[in-house]
Structures are given as structure tokens and as C-alpha cells.
Amino acid sequence: MYEPEFLREAQRQLAVCNACRYCEGFCAVFPALELRAEIGSGDLGYLANLCHDCRDCYTACMFTPPHEFAINIPKVLAAARLQTYEHYGRPRVPALFRRSVVGTAAITLAGIVAVWLAVAAFMGPRVLAVPHRGPGAFYAVAPWLAIIVPAIAIVLYGVGVALCGAWTFARDIGGAPSRPRAAAAWRAALDAITLRFLKGGGAGCYYPRVRGSSARRVLHHFVAGGFLLALVSTTIAAIEQDIIGRMPPFPLLSLPVFFGVAGGVLLITGTTGLLFLKTRSDDAPAASSMNALDYAFLVLLDLVAVTGLLLLVLRETRLMPPMLVVHLGLLAGLFITAPYGKFIHFVYRYVALIRRAGEERLEARAASGTRA
């Protein structure tokens, strides 16, 4: 999976860490590293996706540049994570569209243009220039089937790519602990939900400053919570429309609007905050290609949330049709790029966390047997 030169450099740096072991209490990476006398390609992918990029190890390390050992574990593991996304994202796409801001912007712009042209061609260009009010107003611009069929196709494609990648990744990182047993899967879910390993050594994340902070962890919770609330809003809206028979746009004092607004606010707060932290962070422990992927994902998710709230504000005006087109195009860009961009990181990280939870259980049993 990795270029031989890159793998050798990663092995060199991790060997120094395994000899030093100063950072073993910071996160899951270093205890897992200590179980391995040699680091193969699968081991590197496993360790890279355990890393939450808190950078505590970089701040604490006495061997970072300009020391001759030139240890930079966050940068090495970030580059390895990016190669994980590229290797396991099948079918593969050109590098321009999987790792650059330009590629993501091009796909998103193409999505907006495609939606715009489709609406103008099938509904007539005038539909984009006049206000639409009352139940079914959105579907007067873009028919329900024209929205739902492409949406389902894009989502199913992304889920398929993610599941195939996760299956192959789990196989490649190897070993019995990688099997998704219930206890390990539950422990990994708790670690993922609480972002346990963004606490670093307990003082918080050394990102962007050289002192511990919980800001990045809190902002990640905002993004995850906002995404879940948006999903709840969409689910309730589907129930109201398809089962109860109420057509959108829904009243301001309704559950879909309440959850949608709450989710949008959390998403905007979280993504904007993370973008702000990223602009202030040190570039030395960062991989430039991963930085580009981070920026592309955060900006796109931020724009989806902003246009979603603007659509609510402008829904009774003549600006609603063009705003709906832009919002749908941004959503298309987000989910088309999802299997190949930063969005997919939670899949591989969860698989790695399951394996680590299994290893922890084996270590605890071994320690208990030794004491006995």
C-alpha cells in the first residue's frame, strides 16, 4: 500500500518511539505500537488511523527537528491516513478529485451547475425567477423524484465504497482482535463518541497552541451533533411527508425545522471553529495533502449548513429557487466526494478502535493472569 521509501521512514521513526516510550500515556497509538516488534504495512495503517492528531507527542518529543533523529509522528501518520483513504476507496478516482481543494470545488461546482441546468431544462428557466409559497413549494422548483432518486443513488454508492473499504482494511490490519466482537465494538463506539483520545495525556489537545486545550474536541462534538440533528430533521420530515401527508416547507414551529436549525447552528459553529483553529495551527506536524483535504471538507460542510439555514430564511421570497439549487448542488458535492475525502475517516478510525479495544481486553486478561 505504501511506497517503500515512505514505509521505511515511518518504520524508522516508530522504532525510535518504541525505544523511548515517553509518550505511551498520551493516546492509543503508543501502547499499540509497543505490542509490535516490527511495523508492516498493515500495522502502519492501523496505527495511523488510531491517531487523532492531538499532537501531544510532537510537543513532548525531544527528538523533533532540528534534532538529527527528525521525529515527526503526527506528520507521518497523517500522510499514512491519507494513503489509507486512497488505497481502500474503490473504485479509485483521479488524485485531483480525492486530495485537493480544487478537486472538491470542481465537483461541487459541477453539482450546482448540473442541478441548475436540470431544473431549467425540465421545469423551465422561469421557475428559478419567481417565488413559490405554501406546501410543495420546493417541489415546484425541483420535483420530489428528481431529488430523491439521485440522492439515494449517491448515498448507496458512498455506503458501498465505505463498507468495502472497511472490510478490506479490517482484513489487512489482521489479527484476532480486529474481529468486531460485541464488547470490542461497544468499547470502540464509546471511544469514538466521547473522542477519548483527543484528550491527549489528559491536558487536552496541543492544537493549535503549545498547551493543552479542549477546544478542538468540543468543536468536533458540535460537528458530529449537528450532523446527527440534521439527520433527525430529515427523517422526521420524511415521516411527515410520506406517512402523515404534510408537504414541506414545514412551519417554523415544527420538529423538522427545530432539529434542522439546531443541527445547522451546531455544524456552522463546529466547522467554522475548526477552520479557525486550523489557520492558527503549526504546519510542521501536518501533512500538506491532508491539510488540503481538511480544508476542503470543512468548507464544504460549512457551506451546506449555511445554505440550509438561508433556505429557511428565504423560502417565502424569489431567492428561494436559486438558493435551493445551490444547496442541492453543495449536498451532491459533499456526498459524491465523501467516500474519497476526509468524511470517510471515521470509518477507518472506528475499525482501528475496535482492534485496539480487543487488544486492551487481551492485555487486561494477561495482566490478570500474571497477578493470579
Confidence band (pLDDT; 50, 70, 90) for 179?
A: low
163: left (phi over 0), alpha (psi -120 to 50) or beta: alpha
Cell for 299?
A: 468548507
**What is the arithmetic mean of pLDDT over 75-99?**
81
Calculate the average pLDDT of the chain: 87
**What local confidence, expressed as pLDDT, does residue 178 receive?**
43
What is the pTM (predicted TM-score) of this model?
A: 0.88
At residue 7, does pLDDT exceed 50?
yes
**What is the arithmetic mean of pLDDT over 309-330?**
92
pLDDT tens profile 103-160: 777 778 888 888 888 888 888 888 887 888 888 899 989 888 888 998 999 999 999 9
- Residues in Cβ contact with 336 at an 8 Å cutoff, skipping those fewer than 6 apart: 107, 111, 154, 158
Which of residues 195 and 93 earns the better pLDDT score?
195
Share of the chain above pLDDT 70, in %: 91
Confidence band (pLDDT; 50, 70, 90) for 101?
A: low
Rg of the chain over Cα atoms, rounded to whole angstroms, equals 23
pLDDT tens profile 282-318: 888 888 888 888 888 999 999 999 999 999 999 989 9
Longest dimension (CA), the chain: 80
Q: How far is CA 63 from CA 18, 56, 94, 209, in A?
A: 13, 13, 37, 19
29-38, 223-232, 272-281: which is most confident: 223-232
At residue 212, does pLDDT exceed 70?
no
Q: How far is CA 371 from the centre of its chain?
A: 41
pLDDT tens profile 8-32: 999 999 999 999 989 888 889 999 9
Residue 246 is classified by DSSP as P
- State how far the Cα of 330 lies from the Cα of 324, in Å rounded to an integer: 10
At residue 165, does pLDDT exceed 80?
yes
**What local confidence, expressed as pLDDT, does residue 210 receive?**
53
**What local confidence, expressed as pLDDT, does residue 208 receive?**
61
**What local confidence, expressed as pLDDT, does residue 131 receive?**
83
Q: Are 211 and 60 in contact (CB under 8 A)?
A: no
- State how far the Cα of 70 lies from the Cα of 20, in Å rounded to an integer: 14
φ, ψ at 38 (rounded to 5°): -130, 150
